[in-house]
Amino acid sequence: MSVVSDTVVLDQFCNDDLIEAAKTKRNKSWSHNVLIPSWVEVEDVPLDRFFTRPEVAAFCYENLREVMAKDWVWPDEYTFVEPGVGGGVL
């Protein structure tokens, strides 16, 4: 599996108002999310630097496998592409 190492810095394409609006919307959705660790200061997390913990990715993948199995679809027959740049765990 190859990993893309180039990152696009969001700040280059958005003005400050758009970035702050996106952060506000994101922070609201994170406010009661039990999968966000309590030690994460969401107000301080830039939009382009929050990485998925391996155990969260594993949880998501196992749920996907269960849903696919209900429809007789087998994940081993597919290639999954990492949707972002980072640790490559999701």
pLDDT digits (tens, 9 = 90+) for 16-65: 787 788 888 888 888 888 888 888 888 888 776 556 777 888 898 899 99
Query: Which is more confident, 67 or 88?
Result: 67
Phi-psi sector, 88: left (phi>0), alpha (psi -120 to 50), beta: left
Q: Check whether 3 has a pLDDT greater than 50.
A: no
The whole-angstrom separation of Cα 35 and Cα 37 is 6
What pTM value is reported for the model?
Answer: 0.40
Close Cβ partners of 22 (under 8 Å, ≥ 6 residues apart): 14, 47
